[in-house]
């Protein structure tokens, strides 16, 4: 039951609840954002037990990720995991697959899911293990499925037709021994793995096929090495706020100004920064860090404090990219002294913030005031003006002002931040991060269905495969995890969310495996888009035909169709018709025998003009004529 309901029902406080949880008498799990309470007696329920195990394993995965990138900590991590496993085992919940050996293997390979069985895509039925029998089945499936001109042929009907035909024709007799359920399962797999269903839709319901295709959419330190260290820090600007327009209230309001910045450690050159009139969130800081990594490549270490920059989101991003990070000891800013100097008494505070009339400095004594009253001045600028002036300061005065530095030989010199950065950058070879790895490390994704070489991604528009990343027809019209970088929506990556087999090539795409990179069409000119769409669709349809026909010997089922006598009780309709004709002939003969001659009485003969011998009258012929 829900946590709130449990507290109300038991009449206990949250403190008592948490005491019981720590004692192990009750447990909790989260389902769809709602916290539920489970008593020990309810652990017998397999569904509840699975949800608890799922939540426990989710806590283990970040530990495995940390151990993968920090081998020295693996022993401690394994010990921590084993303690939790044993603790839950004592409570009656057994967590399988997390032994010490498994933990070390997971940290080494980063494969958190169980390995796919080697025989997963093999044919287990002994009859179908024979290549000839399997080729015959493929041919029958192709012919019966393609022969059905309905929009979506019935797999059950195709299976039954194959079953009936195999009992009537000797060349298919081995297929008759396959159980119906097994036969239907293999029919379904053949249709899917050879894209027969997609080819059928293309040939019989082209508008449905067309709708799924791609379409055109109208930091100064002597010991640091250059670019090895990125420093990340935040600052509340030393002014008494700025004016922000409130749409709801229809007036300006005064709000504080917050800033986060990433700088290069040796030269104090700014790599990325962001200004907001609200407090930053972990996601905002992660995006800022992502922006710096995209522009300047991979550093060896990122130095930050123990605040938002050390949040789970930021740490996991750096871990996935294999970049070391050091939050340093709490309340000890000297480990990232260059950025502290930049923000503190050094540059931004004195060179920029102190130039505003509502400057407040770092304490009450520093507050600017023009009379006895120590309250700061009201802001007379908007946030847009403040950001614009800060941009000009960072790109101008901050970078070009000459400052005193100490070089590697302990010699002091006057040089600007820009010139110092450029002279190092001239001989520096950037180690750019692969965009695919960056998107995967960012871990922002959406489950989307990919059509025929086409992905619709909401407001971001239409995407098509990057050159050399066209996907096989078997992989089309399926759902994928689409990983993206919100700072660069030019390209996205597809990852499989289920296992796929392309029988034509023998290639498999296992769950979690990279499939392809797609590019946005919006970056191309209209003419380029039109040419790309036409070429992509043409190639896909050619590949679609090849995928089904090249791997199936259609001649093995030549002449097979839905109206074959073997499928319709051979000759039964013709025999019935012959029986009806024979019965009519018997009736006709009997009628002639009884109604061929009619004797006219003598009393009637006198009235006839012709008194000769009465003529023969065939009433049956007259009846038939009528």
Between the alpha carbon of residue 557 and those of residues 56, 133, 139, 173, 552, the distances in Å are 54, 12, 6, 13, 10
Tell whether the model's pLDDT for residue 448 goes beyond 80: yes
Average pLDDT over residues 76-104: 84
HEC string for 5-22: HHHHHHCCCHHHHHHHHH
Q: How distant is the alpha carbon of residue 547 from its chain centre? A: 25
The stretch 426-454 carries a mean pLDDT of 91
Give the mean model confidence (pLDDT) for residues 519-548: 88
Give yes or no: residues 36 and 146 share one domain. no
Averaged over 167-179, what is the pLDDT? 89
d(CA 83, CA 65): 18
**What are 377-425's pLDDT values in tens digits?**
888 889 999 999 999 999 999 999 998 877 767 778 888 999 999 999 9
Task: Check the CA dihedral 187-470-446-312 and report its sign.
Answer: positive
In a domain, 464, yes or no: yes
pLDDT tens per residue across span 508-532: 999 999 999 999 998 888 999 999 9
pLDDT category at 624 given cuts 50, 70, 90 is very low
Sign of CA dihedral 557, 560, 565, 569: positive
SS3 of residue 285 by DSSP: helix
pLDDT of residue 157: 93
Structural domain boundaries, residue 471:
443-557
Q: Give the mean model confidence (pLDDT) for residues 166-195.
A: 90
In a domain, 371, yes or no: yes
Report the domain count for the chain. Answer: 4
Asked if residue 23 and residue 140 are part of one domain, the reply reads: no
Confidence label for 599 from pLDDT (cuts 50, 70 and 90): low
Distance CA 248, CA 244 (A): 12
Chain position carrying tokens 């104090």? 268
Among 437-446, 465-474, 600-609, the range scoring the smallest mean pLDDT is: 600-609
Query: If we measure between CA atoms, which residue out of 190, 196, 177, 188 comes closest to residue 134?
Result: 190
Residue 626 pLDDT grade (very low, low, confident, very high; cuts 50, 70, 90): very low
pLDDT at position 80: 87
Please say whether the beta carbons of 28 and 2 come within 8 A.
no
**Per-residue pLDDT for 610 more than 60?**
no
Same domain, 201 and 237: no
Residue 573 three-state SS: helix
Asked if pLDDT for residue 230 goes beyond 70, the answer is yes
Which sign does the torsion angle of CA 395, 400, 404, 410 carry?
positive
Q: Stretch 253-260: mean pLDDT, rounded?
A: 92
Q: Which two tokens stand for residue 87?
A: 């603790």
**How many Cβ atoms sit within 10 Å of the Cβ of residue 424?**
16
**Residue whose token pair is 């959419």:** 217
Q: Does an H or E element contain 515, and which?
A: strand 514-520
- Together in a domain, 34 and 134: no
318 and 467 together in one domain:
no
The pLDDT score that the predictor gives to residue 234 is 86
pLDDT tens-digit readout, 277-294:
999 999 999 999 999 999
**The predicted structure's pLDDT at residue 24:** 63
Q: Cα(first)–Cα(last) distance of the chain, in Å? A: 86
User: Taking a C-beta distance cutoff of 8 angstroms, is the pair 620, 592 a contact?
Assistant: yes
> Which of 503, 527, 557 is a domain's end point?
557
3-state secondary structure of 262: strand
Supply angle C-alpha 513, 514, 518, rounded to 5: 150
Tell whether 334 is covered by a domain: yes
Q: Do 203 and 326 belong to one domain? A: no
Q: Are residues 394 and 519 in the same domain?
A: no
Average pLDDT value for residue range 52-75: 83
Residue 141 scores a pLDDT above 70: yes
- Contact between 354 and 389 (Cβ < 8 Å): no
Are 588 and 620 in contact by the 8 Å Cβ rule? The answer is yes
130, pLDDT greater than 70: yes
Whole-number pLDDT of residue 351: 86
Q: pTM score > 0.85 for this model?
A: no
pLDDT of residue 221: 58
* pLDDT confidence of residue 387: 94
Residue length of the chain: 626
DSSP SS3 for 33: coil
Q: Cα–Cα distance between 42 and 30 in angstroms, integer?
A: 15
- Look at residue 502 and tell me if it is in a domain: yes
Percent of the chain with pLDDT over 70: 77
Residue 214 has pLDDT above 90, yes or no: no
Do 38 and 138 fall into the same domain? Answer: no
Q: 158-181: buried (b, 16+ CB within 10 Å) or exposed (e) per residue?
A: bbbbbbebbeeeeebebbbebeee
87 inside domain: yes
In terms of domains, do 306 and 332 share one? yes
Alpha carbon distance 501, 504 (integer Å): 9
Neighbours of 589 (CB within 10 A): 10
Asked if residue 563 is part of any domain, the answer here is no
Which residues, in sequence order, are CB contacts of 190 under 8 Å at separation 6+? 137, 138, 141, 142, 196, 503
Confidence of residue 219 (pLDDT cuts 50, 70, 90): very low
Q: Which of 438, 436, 460 is nearest to 448 (CA)?
A: 460
**Could you count the other beta carbons within 10 Å of the beta carbon of residue 619?**
13
Same domain, 407 and 447: no
Please, which pLDDT band fits residue 317 given cuts at 50, 70 and 90? Answer: very high
Chain center to CA of 355? 49
pLDDT, tens only, 2-51: 667 777 777 777 777 777 767 666 767 666 666 777 777 777 777 777 88
Both 10 and 90 in one domain: the answer is yes
Of 515, 514, 532, nearest to 523 by C-alpha is 532
Residues 309, 400 within the same domain: yes
**Residue that finishes a domain, picked among 79, 109, 139:** 109
Tell which of 399, 426, 453 closes a domain. Answer: 426
Q: Provide the pLDDT for residue 54.
A: 82
By C-alpha distance, which of 356, 345, 372, 392 is closest to 240?
Answer: 356
Does 587 fall in a domain? no
Q: Residue 184: inside a domain, yes or no?
A: yes
- pLDDT, tens digit, for every residue of 330-365? 555 555 566 666 665 568 888 888 888 888 876 666
Task: Report, as an integer, the average pLDDT of 579-583.
Answer: 70
Q: What's the pLDDT at 339?
A: 60
Kindly report the CATH number assigned to the domain that includes residue 289: 3.30.420.10
| Whether 521 contacts 216, CB under 8 Å | yes
Does residue 592 carry a pLDDT above 60?
A: no
């Amino acid at each position: 039951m829900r946590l709130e309901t449990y507290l109300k029902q038991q009449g206990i406080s949250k403190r008592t609840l948490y005491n019981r949880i720590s004692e192990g008498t009750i447990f909790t799990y989260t389902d769809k954002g709602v916290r539920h309470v489970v008593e020990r007696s309810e652990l017998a329920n397999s569904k509840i037990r699975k949800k608890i195990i799922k939540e426990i394993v989710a806590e283990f995965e970040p530990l495995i990720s940390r151990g993968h990138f920090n081998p020295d900590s693996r022993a401690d991590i394994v010990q921590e995991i084993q303690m939790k496993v044993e603790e839950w085992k004592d409570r009656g919940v057994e967590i399988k697959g997390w032994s010490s050996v498994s933990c070390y293997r997971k940290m080494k390979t980063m494969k958190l899911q169980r390995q796919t069985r080697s025989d997963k895509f093999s044919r287990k039925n002994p009859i179908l293990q024979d290549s000839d029998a399997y080729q015959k089945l493929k041919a029958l499936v192709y012919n019966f499925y393609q022969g059905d001109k309905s929009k979506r042929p019935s797999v059950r009907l195709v299976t039954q037709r194959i079953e009936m035909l195999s009992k009537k024709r000797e060349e298919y007799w081995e297929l008759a021994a396959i159980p119906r359920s097994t036969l239907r399962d293999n029919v379904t797999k053949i249709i899917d793995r050879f894209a027969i269903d997609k080819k059928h839709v293309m040939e019989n319901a082209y508008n449905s096929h067309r709708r799924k295709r791609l379409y055109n959419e109208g930091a100064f330190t002597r010991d640091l090495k250059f670019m090895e260290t990125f420093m990340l820090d935040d600052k509340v600007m030393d002014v008494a706020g700025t004016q922000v327009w409130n749409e709801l209230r229809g007036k300006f309001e005064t709000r504080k100004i917050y800033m986060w910045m990433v700088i290069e450690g040796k030269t104090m050159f700014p790599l990325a920064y962001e200004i907001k009139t609200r407090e930053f969130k972990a996601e905002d800081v992660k995006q800022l860090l992502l922006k710096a990594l995209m522009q300047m490549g991979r550093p060896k270490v990122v130095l930050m404090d123990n605040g938002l920059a050390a949040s789970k989101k930021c740490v996991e991003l750096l871990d996935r990219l294999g970049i070391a990070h050091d939050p340093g000891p709490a309340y000890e800013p000297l480990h990232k002294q260059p950025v502290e100097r930049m923000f503190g008494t050094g540059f931004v505070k004195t060179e920029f913030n102190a130039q505003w009339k509502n400057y407040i400095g770092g304490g009450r004594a520093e507050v600017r005031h023009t009379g006895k009253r120590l309250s700061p001045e009201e802001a007379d600028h908007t946030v847009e003006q403040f950001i614009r002036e800060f941009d000009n300061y960072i790109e101008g005065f901050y970078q070009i002002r000459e400052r005193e530095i100490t070089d590697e030989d302990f010699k002091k010199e006057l040089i600007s931040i820009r010139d110092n950065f450029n002279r190092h950058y001239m001989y520096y070879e950037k180690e750019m991060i692969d965009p695919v790895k960056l998107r995967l490390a960012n871990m922002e994704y959406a489950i989307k269905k990919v059509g025929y070489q086409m992905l619709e991604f909401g407001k971001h528009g239409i995407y098509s495969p990057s050159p050399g990343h066209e996907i096989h027809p078997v992989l089309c019209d399926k759902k994928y995890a689409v990983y993206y970088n919100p700072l660069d929506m030019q390209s996205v990556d597809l990852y499989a969310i289920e296992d796929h087999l392309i029988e034509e090539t023998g290639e498999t795409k296992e769950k979690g495996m990279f499939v392809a990179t797609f590019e946005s069409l919006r970056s191309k000119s209209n003419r380029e888009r039109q040419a790309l769409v036409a070429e992509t669709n043409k190639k896909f349809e050619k590949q679609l035909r090849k995928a089904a026909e090249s791997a199936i010997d259609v001649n093995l089922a030549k002449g097979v169709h839905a109206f074959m006598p073997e499928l319709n009780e051979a000759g039964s309709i013709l025999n019935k018709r012959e029986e009806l004709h024979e019965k009519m002939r018997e009736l006709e003969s009997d009628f002639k025998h009884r109604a061929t001659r009619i004797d006219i009485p003598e009393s009637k003969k006198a009235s006839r003009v012709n008194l000769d011998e009465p003529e023969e009258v065939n009433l049956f012929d007259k009846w038939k004529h009528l």
